[in-house]
Amino acid sequence: MRFDLNDSFGYPVLRPDNDDYVGCAIQSSINAVADADLSMVTVSYQISISAPEINKLISENKVELLIYGECRDTWFDIVHYPQTKDGTFSITGNKIDGEFVLTCIVVAKEKIKSYRSIKFNPEYGDAKFDIERGEILAFDNPQSFYITRDTFRNITSLFDYSANVNISVGEWDVSLDNDRIKVEVNPIQLPILRTAEGTNKNKAVLLSGIFLPIVIQIINEMNNNSEEYGDLKWFKVIEQKRVSLQHSIAKNPVRVAQALLKQPLLKLNTTMGWVE
Q: Which residues contact another protein by CB under 8 A? A: 1-4, 7, 9-10, 64, 66, 68, 70-77, 79, 94-98, 105, 107, 132-136, 149, 157, 160-161, 163, 190, 194, 197-198
Residues in the chain: 276
Helix 253-260, helix 212-224: angle, nearest 10: 120
Q: In terms of CB distance, is 135 or 221 closer to another protein? A: 135
* Least separation in angstroms between CB 140 and another protein: 14
* Least separation in angstroms between CB 190 and another protein: 8
* Least separation in angstroms between CB 207 and another protein: 15
C-alpha pair distances (Å), 107 with each of 68, 100, 112, 128, 137? 11, 21, 11, 17, 6
Q: In terms of CB distance, is 48 or 199 closer to another protein? A: 199
What's the CA angle centered on 49, arms 130 and 1, to 5 degrees? Answer: 65
**Which of 221, 206, 209, 205 shows the shortest CA–CA distance to 256?**
221
* Least separation in angstroms between CB 128 and another protein: 18
**Which of 51, 142, 71, 72 shows the shortest CA–CA distance to 105?**
142
**Which of 26, 60, 59, 17 shows the shortest CA–CA distance to 137?**
26
Tell me the C-alpha distance between 89 and 78, whole Å. Answer: 11
* Least separation in angstroms between CB 39 and another protein: 11
User: Quick one: how far is CA 219 from the chain centroid?
Assistant: 17
As to burial, measured by CB atoms within 10 angstroms (0-12 exposed, 13-18 middle, 19+ buried), residue 257 is: buried
* Least separation in angstroms between CB 64 and another protein: 7
